[in-house]
Structure 1
Amino acid sequence: MTAATPTVTPGGSHGATWPLRHPWLAAIALALAPVVFTAGTSAAAQLSGATEAGGALILAGGAAASAALGLAVMRRSPATLSSYGLRQPARLRAALWLAPAALTVLIMLVSQGIHVGGPTLAAYGVLVVAVALNEETWFRGIVLAVLRARSVRSAVVGSSVLFGVLHLANLAGGEDAGAAILQVVFAALFGLVAAQLVVLTGSLWPVIVWHAAWNFVSFAGGNTTGPGATVGIGIAIAAMLAYALLLRRHLLALTRVETSDEHVAVR
């Protein structure tokens, strides 16, 4: 491990950077941590014979423990928690005030509705917050920082690909292969937009809220696959693709400005 002082530019293209000897291998190993916790608690929930609400709470406990471990890893790294994104977001105007992200959640809510109620819905509320904190801490926090030592592009693309591929773990839970593959593609796209938002705004909080809201609406709708939900997912994917292109343009412009400033500073 090579210690280095992270570049901390709120809202800039630079944030926590954790230089390691083999960044790709380190990123893969670190990305497996939340997957192991999820697999373990999922197995525990199934073996316990818990109700749907009880199983959700068991999964939430595992996700919370994994998130706590992620925060501990952040503290032990060369960077600060603030540089990882645990700070107030900036450049919200460039990110269109996060309106496209909120729109995707609204689209899913309208297209599939709410089919889960009572204690189960409350348990899912706890679960989605724990999962969002967990996955964003590891993927858009730690993994992004490790790969950012190579380049911002490597960090954004690499973290999103890992996020998508590791969703194949859902096959272990008995999910249909076709559905699992579609989830991998969608997760990679979601991860791409989320990583871009973190780099642009310098904060994890917007994507944590977006992640939790998206999952909550999905659970509340009973993960339905009817025509309405399918159309909704298609529209949401189109909105995410457009958002990704917009964010990419802003990131390229921001990177060029910061690179120019660095050259001036060197002179």
Structure 2
Amino acid sequence: MKRTLFKQGAEPLPPELQRAAALCGLAALVYLAADSALSGLLGPSVDGLSPSAGELVALGKNLLALAAPLLVALASPPGAPVRLRRPRWRLLPALFLLFWVLTMAGNLASTVLRAVLGEAAGVQLAEAPAGLLWLRLALVPAVGEELLFRGLMQGYLRPWGGRAAVWGQAVLFALLHGEAPTCLSALLSGLALGLCAETSGSLWPGMAFHLYNNTLALLGQTGAGPAWVQPLLLFGLPAAALVVWAMKPKFPPRLQGCGAGVLARCPGYGLAAALLAVQMLHATFT
């Protein structure tokens, strides 16, 4: 279906768009429900286990929680997902720099908001092997969340324009990150990752950027590895990307199609976003 079939705010939305948006919202709610239910079921079983065994249980929980919404989204696909194909390589330096800038801005905004709310930064991690922590907190989310949000959700919403598709998945991605400061940071990262998938035509770059960000965050929380690794990732890679980009600048194309506001007219998507927003406010202020 072509995007010219309706004007935003002028005509009823096509049923296909409403179904696609509702399915994305449902998948996000299933993700939250599965993660909460599995945490409640498996939480007591971790008591008494060794750090390594407890981390393996947590890894299994994360994999199952990711599998549930993926299966829901794949059960009745309303469109074609973004695929794991060869990306447009010339765009990668610019996309990585954009991702880095938005992620750093999101982290700064999150820190400021935490200070305003009087929240302590940082998460207490279990004393588990660094490899298992990296697998659970860096690699699995980087692959699984890119498949779900930028692959399926963004692909399903794409027929109505890149802007709606990128914003649609990014809002759900952000609201699933718990407290408001973390959601703010995740929103900017989700927008950058969505733009990366939309303009590069592949999920591979977003997976690599997502893994980079998660690895950097994990190093900051655990202090694992040599002292030079974190500065190299934080400043060395962006500097190298800037040099490569400056040699032959290539800018990502502008997104086309309907604006993000079109999704507010989809009852299924709007209800899911509202429920996730309530959960985010509850996590922030309780």
What corresponds to 2:77 in structure 1? 77
Q: Residue deviations 1:8-58, cap 9 Å, x none?
A: xxxxxxxxxx94543332221122233233223333453222455444332
SS of the equivalent of 1:89 reads coil
Partner in structure 1 of residue 39 of structure 2: 42
Q: What is the deviation of 1:208?
A: 1.6
Equivalent residue runs for 1:1-267 within 5 Å: 19-48=16-45, 49=47, 50=49, 52-69=51-68, 72=71, 73-74=73-74, 77=77, 84-90=82-88, 92-96=89-93, 98-100=95-97, 119-127=128-136, 128-168=138-178, 180-222=179-221, 250-252=252-254, 255=256
Specify the code of the residue in structure 2 equivalent to 1:25. Answer: A
Indicate how the Cα distance of structure 1 residues 85 and 199 shifts in structure 2: closer, same or farther if over 3 A, else same.
same
C-alpha contact 1:156 1:195 (8 A) present in aligned 2: yes
Cα 1:156–1:19 shift into 2, 3 Å: same
Post-superposition CA distance 1:240-263 (Å, at most 9, x none): xxx9xxxxx6231x759xxxxxxx
SS of equivalent residue, structure 2 residue 253:
helix
Q: Which runs of 5+ in 1 are unaligned?
A: 5-17, 109-114, 169-179, 225-231, 244-248, 257-267
Give the 3-state SS of the residue equivalent to 1:22 in structure 2: helix
Assess if the C-alpha contact under 8 Å between 2:17 and 2:160 holds in 1: no
- Partner Cα distance (1:191, 1:102) in 2: 9
| Equivalent residue number for residue 173 of structure 1 | none
Structure 2 distance, partners of 1:223, 1:119, is 11
- Structure 2, unmatched stretches of 5+, are 2-14, 108-123, 224-230, 243-250, 258-286
- In the alignment, is the contact (CA less than 8 A) between 2:161 and 2:256 conserved in 1? no
Between the two proteins, the alignment pairs up a number of residues equal to 200
Amino acid at match of 2:130: L
Identity %: 23
TM-score, normalising length: structure 2: 0.56
**Matching residue of 1:8:** none
SS of the residue 1:63 aligns to: helix
Shift of 1:149: 3.0
Alignment correspondent of 1:228: none
Contact 1:31 1:143 in 2 (8 A): no
What is the deviation of 1:116?
8.3
Letter in 2 for 1:148: R
In structure 2, do the counterparts of structure 1 residues 79 and 155 end up closer, same or farther at CA, with 3 Å as the change threshold?
Answer: closer
Secondary structure at 2:176 match in 1: helix
User: Partners of 1:57 and 1:67 in 2: how far apart?
Assistant: 15
Do the aligned partners of residues 103 and 153 (structure 1) sit closer, same or farther apart at CA in structure 2, a change above 3 Å counting?
closer
SS at match of 1:84: coil
Is the Cα–Cα contact under 8 Å of residues 27 and 69 in structure 2 kept in the other structure? Answer: no
Q: TM-score, normalised by structure 1?
A: 0.60
Check the 8 A contact 2:171/2:187 in 1, yes or no.
Answer: yes
Q: Kindly report the root-mean-square deviation, in angstroms, between the aligned alpha carbons of the 2 structures.
A: 4.0
CA distance in 1, matches of 2:129, 2:85: 32
Q: 1:117 to 1:143 in 2, by over 3 A?
A: closer
Alpha-carbon offset, residue 88 of structure 1: 2.1
CA gap of 1:145–1:99, structure 2 versus 1, over 3 A, is closer
Please give the alpha-carbon distance, in whole angstroms, between the structure 2 residues aligned to 1:41 and 1:121: 23
Task: Report the AA paired with residue 38 of structure 2.
Answer: T
- 1:95 match: secondary structure: helix
Residue deviations 1:116-162 (CA, integer Å, cap 9, x gap): 89852111122122222221111111111222232211111111111
| Distance of aligned partners of 1:21 and 1:158 in 2 relative to their CA distance in 1, 3 Å threshold | closer
CA–CA separation in structure 2 for the residues paired with 1:102 and 1:150: 24
Could you tell me how far apart the structure 1 residues matched to 2:208 and 2:83 are?
13
Is the deviation greater in 128-137 or in 70-79?
70-79
Deviation at 1:68, TM superposition (A): 4.4
